[in-house]
């Protein structure tokens, strides 16, 4: 549920923060950015692991200037969230997918009820956007991926693949011993819940999505999705190699898919996993153009 459940009026480029509560009481902010024009198109954006939603405000502003309203989701345990992982306070993909995302989606739709919504995200955010659509296909009309892909260790080039496989064993073990995953110490993600890092590592070791505590067949549901998908990859992204993205996209055989790779000359910054966030115009231009093609400007509440 949310503290604000009615539509809001947003001036172009204006930012409004809503307080969103999941059904178990967890609270976080949802940041809405108003679009130029009628705001018939909107995008719920999911951050990368350990990255605060506010880091995507430049992207949201750039999209808003191109006619796409944006809602920036905040992950449980990060930035504005009122929870922090510790021993005795744990969660995993199940809570992110079934508690937090429905709350943000409901708040976003209530705020902009006439918009047609897409869902997308950066890195792990893109993976979880795909899993949420697999779980609830009616949530959005399209899927956007940026620097995303499966963490399956075999999709990484050697010798990096062996490092990835090692950390996918080591990090969950550290998390169990310490009560949470101390990501800042390892300089990978933020401080994360044991369940989150365990689910991430399990998908990386097996190359398949199976969420602890859920009997739902995500792989079969992904194969059945027919939503259009747009994937952006960055040419120098060592955390998101081309094979990793292909592995994820191949899980969506029924979906119309388009992918582009952007280089440093196009971006104006290094074409790695994070630099584009500081200068996101090229990314925003391509997402907005694609959404205009596949979602259009018609009004509606979803598929």
User: Any idea what the CATH number is for the domain that residue 124 is in?
Assistant: 3.40.50.1820
The DSSP call for residue 301 is S
Cα 131 to Cα 47: distance, rounded to the nearest angstrom: 14
Determine the pLDDT at residue 13: 75
Query: Is 165 inside a domain boundary?
Result: no
Structural domain boundaries, residue 27: 15-151+215-294
Determine the pLDDT at residue 7: 65
Determine the pLDDT at residue 4: 44
Determine the pLDDT at residue 300: 39
Structure tokens that stand for 141 in this block: 């009309």
Average pLDDT for runs of 10 along the chain of length 303: 55 87 96 80 96 97 95 96 92 98 96 94 99 98 98 97 96 92 80 95 98 98 98 98 98 98 98 98 98 71 44
Determine the pLDDT at residue 91: 96
Query: Is 249 inside a domain boundary?
Result: yes
- Contacts of residue 268, defined as CB under 8 A and 6 or more positions apart, other chains included, come to 279, 281, 282
Determine the pLDDT at residue 298: 46
* Exposure string over 56-68, b if 16+ CB within 10 A, otherwise e: bbbbbbbbbbbbb
Q: How many domains is the chain partitioned into structurally?
A: 1
DSSP H or E run through 169 = helix 160-178
Cα 63 to Cα 33: distance, rounded to the nearest angstrom: 9
Which residue in 5, 20, 16, 3 sits closest to 76, CA to CA? Answer: 20
Determine the pLDDT at residue 301: 39
Determine the pLDDT at residue 299: 38
∠267-156-265 over CA atoms, to 5°? Answer: 15
Query: Is 157 inside a domain boundary?
Result: no
Structure tokens that stand for 233 in this block: 């990859």
Query: Is 281 inside a domain boundary?
Result: yes
Query: Is 179 inside a domain boundary?
Result: no
What is the pTM for the complete model shown? 0.93
Determine the pLDDT at residue 297: 57
Query: Is 247 inside a domain boundary?
Result: yes
Query: Is 83 inside a domain boundary?
Result: yes
Query: Is 177 inside a domain boundary?
Result: no
């Amino acid at each position: 549920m949310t503290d604000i459940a009615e539509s809001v009026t947003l001036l172009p480029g204006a930012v409004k923060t809503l307080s969103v509560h999941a059904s178990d009481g967890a609270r976080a902010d949802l940041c809405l950015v108003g679009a130029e024009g009628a705001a018939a198109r909107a995008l719920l954006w999911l951050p990368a692991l350990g990255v605060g939603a506010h880091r995507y405000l430049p992207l949201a502003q750039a999209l808003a200037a191109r006619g796409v309203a944006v809602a920036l989701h905040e992950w449980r345990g990060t930035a504005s969230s009122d929870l922090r992982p510790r021993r005795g306070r744990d969660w995993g993909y199940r809570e992110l997918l079934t508690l937090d995302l429905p709350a943000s989606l409901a708040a976003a739709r209530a705020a902009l009820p006439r918009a047609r919504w897409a869902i997308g995200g950066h890195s792990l955010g893109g993976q979880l956007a795909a899993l949420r659509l697999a779980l609830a296909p009616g949530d959005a009309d399209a899927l956007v991926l940026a620097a995303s892909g499966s963490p399956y260790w075999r999709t990484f080039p050697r010798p990096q693949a062996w490092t990835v496989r090692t950390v996918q064993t080591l990090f969950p073990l550290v998390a169990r011993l310490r009560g949470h995953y101390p990501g800042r110490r390892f300089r990978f993600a933020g401080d994360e819940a044991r369940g989150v890092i365990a689910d991430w590592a399990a998908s990386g070791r097996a190359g398949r999505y199976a969420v602890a505590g859920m009997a739902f067949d995500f792989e079969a549901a992904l194969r059945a999705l027919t939503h259009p998908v747009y994937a952006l990859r960055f040419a120098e992204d060592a955390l998101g190699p081309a094979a990793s993205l292909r592995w994820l996209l191949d899980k969506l055989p029924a979906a119309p898919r388009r992918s582009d790779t952007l280089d440093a000359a196009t971006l104006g910054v290094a074409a790695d996993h994070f630099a584009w966030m500081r200068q996101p115009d090229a990314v925003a231009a391509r997402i907005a153009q694609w959404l205009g093609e596949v979602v259009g400007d018609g009004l509606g509440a979803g598929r």
